[in-house]
Amino acid sequence: MYINRALEHNCHCHSKAGHSLESLQYCGEVLKDNPQNVDALCDRAEAYIFSEKYEEAIKDYKAAEEISGDNRRAQEGLKRANKLLKQSLKRDYYKILGVPRNAKKKEILKAYRKLASEWHPDKHEEANKPAAEKKFLDIAAAKEVLTDPEKRQKFDNGEDPLDPEAQNEHQGGGHPFFHQGFNPFGSGGFTFTFRH
């Protein structure tokens, strides 16, 4: 009984801390002995989300919901996992910057500076400028969302705060950044200097 309780505790704590590998291991051990453990299913689902394995998270949340009926954690988790799965088929700001989901602001800014410098349109030949401009805007958008706690929280919950469709509905078209005063060339506390 004490061993099972310790495993459940480790499953939960590692899940909340974002240690997906450890959480998956401990939650797997709990569920091997008790496949009906709703808390372990939800904790493992959260670990799957952190590992970007959204289909597996959805399965665990559905199983938890079937067992418990109206478990709020399972219901909310299932909605979130479905949103994240849908979002993953679109644009993923973490992947654009090449940072993990638990990256600190300092890491995000460092990745942004490196990629923005590399993809700045002024550094590319005329023929490659359109692709560089698109990439540069994606990089700037990723920085905009991931360095703003409110926007990042929305994104982590499966909503894209810079979704052009949503922005078009509210603001009458155009690129969503410019409606928000977004300036990819003037943010981040640094300037680019390129010599030809």
| pTM (2 d.p.) | 0.59
Assigned fold of 93-179:
Helix Hairpins (1.10.287)
Report how far apart, in Å, the C-alpha atoms of 77 and of each of 13, 48, 156 are: 17, 11, 12
Q: pLDDT by residue for the chain (196 residues), tens digit each? A: 888 899 999 999 998 888 889 999 999 999 999 999 999 999 999 999 988 899 999 999 999 999 988 899 999 999 999 988 887 777 889 999 999 988 999 999 999 999 999 998 888 888 788 888 989 999 999 999 999 999 999 888 888 888 766 444 444 444 444 444 454 554 444 444 444 4
Residue 171 has a pLDDT of 45
Q: How many CB atoms lie within 10 A of CB 97?
A: 24
- What residues does each domain of the chain span? 2-88, 93-179
Q: Specify the CATH class of 2-88 in words.
A: mainly alpha
Residue 123 has a pLDDT of 86
**What are the φ/ψ torsions at residue 73 (nearest 5 degrees)?**
-60, -45
Give residue 85's Cα distance to chain centre.
10
Nearest to 42 by CA among 22, 68, 21, 19: 68
Residue 195 has a pLDDT of 47
